[in-house]
Amino acid sequence: MAAENNQTEEKTKGPDFIRQIINEDLAQGKNDGKVHTRFPPEPNGYLHIGHGKSICLNFGIAEDYKGVCNLRFDDTNPTKEDQEYVDSIIEDVRWLGFDPEIFYASDYFDQFYAWALELIDAGKAYVDSQSADEIRQSRGTPTKPGVDSPYRTRSVEENRDLFTRMTAGEFEEGSCILRAKIDMAHQNMNMRDPAIYRIRKESHHRTGDKWSIYPMYDFAHGFEDAIEGITHSICTLEFENHRPLYDWFLNNVSAPCHPRQIEFARLNLSYTVMSKRKLLELVTEGLVAGWDDPRMPTLSGFRRRGYTPASIRRFAREIGVSKVNSLVDISFLQFIIREELNENADRAMAVLDPLKVTITNYPEGQIEELEAENNPGNPEAGCRMVPFGREIYIERDDFMEEPPRKFFRLAPGKEVRLKHAYFITCDEVIKDNNGNVTELLCSYDPATKGGDSPDGRKVKGTLHWVSAEKAVEAEVRLYDNLFSLENMDDMEEGKDYKDYLNPESLVIRKAMVEPSLVDAPAGKSFQFLRQGYFCADTGDHSSAHPVFNRTVALKDSWAKMQKKNK
């Protein structure tokens, strides 16, 4: 009943502007009613969550319309590309939950070449022997028209000859390029005789040394789409100015079809950078531990941090798609993974900053196993046994000698509950010579076993703990934002993005964790009670040396209240 009400009352979100365009195309009977998209990364780095948005968009549309989405490597520039990157991209796309057919732009080099010849023969392309510098000078500016190259009027025969020799490797890099002959005075600078082929005497990761010329993005991309029968070529906003060129190439060659380019706003996340150049720099300069460092906004980074594919997919769906340049708050992503892990992650106890507590009236040498539920929201998750003894550790933050108002935790003379165990009261505080608290002497109430008092007396605080004797030491890595600036586009004049690296983005703790955690398989997520969600690290965790990464902390309204009062 309630569910029915929900369905009728809940307004459903309309299709995004891209799906609206597709719907219109379909209504007009275009593309035989088919929808075919593609995700076309250049293999020059690891995928980040911005790519994740694009992947979910393109594959999501294909699913919605019972169409297909290709994974295509846009490998037209051998200088920056590498097989390591294509491997990682395939892994990441599959991890996100998609299993596409894989294509390579480099497989189309022969066809591109034939189309270049077509343009030359039609008098629509020419070999320009000016230097890169001269070409730049003569291109003009947004407000000033460019001037024609002196080589613009070369004959078809001469262009063919020169282009053939370029291809044969007769010329040095930079000595000449093939250009489209369009309009040097065009308002759109991309139309001022753009480069089509440049000479690169470098080995390509797939075609080896077969080619000494490589096609430019603008020339190649529409053709790649057309060859694969793409109907909607979805890309980011900065390519808006390239669309006229995309169309021009398709219109001036015998292409099999004419895909429609649609642009959307790329994802920006607060407190991080999203450019491949910068991410590569962080890796090569050792500022992070690698592409999959849990602080990185890469898909592999999020994976190692403990994010699930479903959480990334949901994030992509909920931020939507539009043409507005926007900055999405990283806390929105955190909200989503918290919600998922709250439902699915087993609870466990871990003390990150241990303070020893001796329960003076508890029998010496005795250890008892107490039952602990794995997930209070899900009885099917079952229970586990947790060892309890005379000596335990609690969180140092959970004790204050002179507590402020409303401090519900341990303090001299105060009683609290140890989760799943007993009520204890703090009787005595032991300090070292410097006045630092080193140990607490407490007494427990045997009648409160399990955490309930038979006399009905209430206690405000419930603490997590571990048995000092049975607990296991673990390395716990606490991650925070990689950068300290919310919007990395707001850097001060003269400052570099690296000036904003957050020195506390990684804090390592020697924690004491309950013994059940040593058996945790790498990658498995837990909620460490009252702390946050942690996963066993996929790189370094083992039973002999447990390592847990904090995916995200729990909400902490006590900490928030404290901060406000300051």
Partner RNA sequence: UUGGACGUCGGCAAGCGGUAAGCCACCGGGUUUUGAUCCCGGCAUUCGCAGGUUCGAAUCCUGCCGUCCAAGCCA
Distance of CA 556 to the CA centre of its chain: 25
| Closer CB to RNA, 242 or 303, in the complex | 242
CB of 355 to RNA, least distance (A): 16
Residue 399: name the closest of 391, 408, 407, 409 by CA.
Answer: 409
CB of 251 to RNA, least distance (A): 18
Coil, strand or helix at 25: helix
CB of 432 to RNA, least distance (A): 25
C-alpha 275/C-alpha 284 separation (Å) is 14
C-alpha 78/C-alpha 202 separation (Å) is 7
Q: Residue 348: enclosing H or E segment and its boundaries?
A: strand 346-348
CB of 430 to RNA, least distance (A): 22
| Closer CB to RNA, 407 or 497, in the complex | 407
| Closer CB to RNA, 15 or 412, in the complex | 15
C-alpha 350/C-alpha 346 separation (Å) is 13
CB of 287 to RNA, least distance (A): 22
Place of tokens 């140890």: 418
Over the Cα atoms of the chain, what is R_g? 31
C-alpha 225/C-alpha 96 separation (Å) is 23
| Closer CB to RNA, 56 or 319, in the complex | 319
CB of 540 to RNA, least distance (A): 26
Residues 6+ apart with CB under 8 A from 556: none
Residue 135: name the closest of 145, 124, 148, 120 by CA.
Answer: 148
| Residue 274 DSSP class | -
Token code pair at residue 423: 């009520």
Q: Do 325 and 74 form a contact (C-beta atoms < 8 A)?
A: no
**Environment class of residue 7 by beta-carbon count within 10 Å: exposed (0-12), middle (13-18) or buried (19+)?**
exposed
- Catalytic residue annotation: 42, 266, 276
C-alpha 89/C-alpha 98 separation (Å) is 12
Q: Residue 247: enclosing H or E segment and its boundaries?
A: helix 243-251
Start-to-end CA distance of the chain, whole Å, equals 48
Number of residues that this document lists for the chain: 566
C-alpha 546/C-alpha 472 separation (Å) is 9
| Closer CB to RNA, 96 or 176, in the complex | 176
Token code pair at residue 411: 């303090």
CB of 464 to RNA, least distance (A): 7
CB of 364 to RNA, least distance (A): 24
CB of 319 to RNA, least distance (A): 4
C-alpha 437/C-alpha 142 separation (Å) is 69
| Closer CB to RNA, 106 or 538, in the complex | 106
| Closer CB to RNA, 113 or 558, in the complex | 558
The partner residues of 417 in beta bridges, in order of sequence, read: 423, 462
**Environment class of residue 15 by beta-carbon count within 10 Å: exposed (0-12), middle (13-18) or buried (19+)?**
middle
| Closer CB to RNA, 64 or 452, in the complex | 452
| Closer CB to RNA, 68 or 341, in the complex | 341
| Closer CB to RNA, 164 or 187, in the complex | 187
The beta-strand segments (E) located in 315-422 are 346-348, 350-351, 354-359, 367-373, 383-389, 391-395, 415-418
CB of 331 to RNA, least distance (A): 5
C-alpha 293/C-alpha 305 separation (Å) is 8
| Closer CB to RNA, 18 or 506, in the complex | 18
C-alpha 365/C-alpha 269 separation (Å) is 53
CB of 100 to RNA, least distance (A): 18
Q: Do 479 and 503 form a contact (C-beta atoms < 8 A)?
A: no
- For residue 196, CA distances in Å to 43, 128, 199, 208, 398 come to 20, 11, 10, 20, 66
C-alpha 246/C-alpha 223 separation (Å) is 9
Q: Do 243 and 261 form a contact (C-beta atoms < 8 A)?
A: yes
C-alpha 337/C-alpha 331 separation (Å) is 10
